[in-house]
Structure 1
């Protein structure tokens, strides 16, 4: 595989942190007691996966900033297992994976494109395409929004699908198979679990739980191509099972959550060194996601950095908690702040609102979503006392409320 030519770097965000613009949003605002920044009401799209149903639902809620209350606005078919979602910056189109192993008779999952009604937030299906591999579990847009990037878990590969001018998806233009295995029983084959662009949109990084590797790709957004690097961008500890990667807002650091050994790794991103190869990331620190003395079964799931770059949050499935870490601004290292119960079972996904003042957690196996207030000084989470019941919530896409 060819090495990368020279390039530089820009930021990609999994959660759309979109501030309300004047004239576009008429939403109510509330000022937090711990910060002068204003929080705004938001919309929350919820991906689900109820195994007994052929068609699953994408739900739409309004999140009230003042209270943390969630109010259902809409519910509609989202295709088979629409577990992971992403939306463009203009909020015109939403994209969802179908986390299945067969799609239209092919040994592949699927990807759906939806148009978004700017008055109601309602989704209208535009088209669907095969994802290029079995059980796609992650989707992101590149920074130019010309392509969606998909990680296929069972397929052990990643794919790129061009986005057409009207938001529809073209067939996959680039598909790359990972190879290898790890020492853990869950690592008998590659399991791509995440793919996202780097801050410059020149590279994409794919996290593979099955091989303990983060793979680097040259991203050519204009030509709709991924070109693999000659060597992994980072290799985690044997059996760690890396799952999700997220970048710090300043682009100097990234944070990798490891599912199988319940740790989180702080990384320094080395874009200039990566141009010369082979490693993109240098490990700064790896710390446990669990409190001292906990001995029960656990697997980690999701990870996010606060919009202000001061804190990292990660979820534990088994301990059923969120771990909060403070980020040292000088070196990117982490200090534990808090473990807080998710008030449910199996927190597969969680999300911060664009202001960073509210956090929502989706508990997959207890069928509920809880909201938390975020202390802007310490990063600590306090339950708001508000929740909703949702069948098997898998993903939360939070955007500013454009319907008012």
Structure 2
């Protein structure tokens, strides 16, 4: 798939993203998105066919190992897959597969030292700790089950572990549990046979439904996407404790309709936050850091499609690429690196239910 953007002068650079999706046929699977502004190209190709519902896919720092989930259910949960990736051959080579030990795995996280892979199992209400071996195989170390519920009887009838995020030091692991309204802090000790141990349950507001979170570049703040209330919450972070500082709505005061906040991204300088909101909103929200350290809203703007479940910034911060599960497309925005503002471009392309974008190296 390709599109063109006429009369655009850019450096000849190709941005590359692994793309996770929900699949409808055996010839679908993990895909590679390549975007070259100078060549007016936005292309998608399948690089691992036959993977069922690879809704989350990441790579190690070298880019030679790719990890993906199969968001499915079974006696031992869904699947976790490992692939070898070679620079001159984009097709992924499968090298390992194991069960996730919880139904519908929906998120993966590598520790900063890449010694551990954490798999979040949404329907299972648990997360699994794997030791990542040098040969690409995984050694299961722990399965940690959450218990409890919260006030939204439709969505919070039990635990729903939605994501796992390491702090920049790798000493702490933050688990967002949508079903319990908790962001739980765990300590990480790589030398222990049980490397992950519970420290603190940071309670969210009832009905929030924490989904994803991100750290500021200095590791002193945490930004949490509250899916069910469409709030971006700003916390101070210290030794695993979260102290709420701001609750920033992802809708305007006069908005009426369903919401479904989905993703949070932080600019590399830490001065801008971006969040997506699904439901009837279908927006991207931009927040800027002020001199007093607080964030203020710049704009809620249409995401360019339906159900912006995920989006990402190019590594140089020049573009934002939004993936729309509902309208089956990818849309590119140009980003002002000083103001953080986004402007529409004609670049877009069709994609089958895209739900995650992981930035690879540029070429």
TM over 0.5: yes
Q: Judging changes above 3 Å, is the alpha-carbon distance between structure 1 residues 295 and 41 closer, same or farther for their aligned structure 2 residues?
A: same
Moved runs in structure 1, 4+ residues, more than 4 A? 65-68
Q: Judging changes above 3 Å, is the alpha-carbon distance between structure 1 residues 136 and 329 closer, same or farther for their aligned structure 2 residues?
A: farther
TM-score (normalizing by structure 2): 0.92
Gaps of 5+ in 1: 1-28, 32-38, 275-279
2:58 to 56, 79, 86: 86
1:151 aligns with 2:120: yes
Q: Deviations over 1:228-279 (max 9, x none)?
A: 33430x21100011110100111111100100011110011112xx4xxxxx
Please state whether the residue corresponding to 1:379 is helix, strand or coil.
coil
Gaps of 5+ in 2: 1-8
Give the stretch that moved more between structures: 54-63 or 126-135.
54-63
1:111 aligns with 2:85: no
1:251 aligns with 2:213: no
Tell me the distance in 2 between the aligned counterparts of 1:338 and 1:204: 31
Q: Which one scores higher on RCO, CA 8 angstroms, separation ≥ 6?
A: 1
Equivalent position of 1:321 in the other structure: 283
**Root-mean-square deviation over aligned CA pairs:** 1.9
Quick check: 1:86–1:96 contact (8 Å CA) kept in 2?
Answer: yes
TM-score (normalizing by structure 1): 0.83
1:80 is displaced (CA, Å) by: 1.7
1:163 aligns with 2:132: yes
Please state whether the residue corresponding to 1:122 is helix, strand or coil.
strand
- Map 1:182-221 → 2, pairs under 5 A: 182-185=150-153, 186-221=155-190
Quick check: 2:18–2:357 contact (8 Å CA) kept in 1?
Answer: yes
- Map 1:278-317 → 2, pairs under 5 A: 280-317=241-278
- Map 1:214-233 → 2, pairs under 5 A: 214-223=183-192, 225-232=194-201
Q: Deviations over 1:13-50 (max 9, x none)?
A: xxxxxxxxxxxxxxxx946xxxxxxx942111111112
Tell me the distance in 2 between the aligned counterparts of 1:224 and 1:42: 39
1:70 is displaced (CA, Å) by: 1.3
Paired residues in the alignment total 353
- Map 1:3-402 → 2, pairs under 5 A: 30=10, 40-50=13-23, 52-53=24-25, 56-66=28-38, 69-77=41-49, 79-102=51-74, 106-170=75-139, 172-185=140-153, 186-223=155-192, 225-232=194-201, 234-271=202-239, 274=240, 280-318=241-279, 319-328=281-290, 330-331=292-293, 333-401=294-362
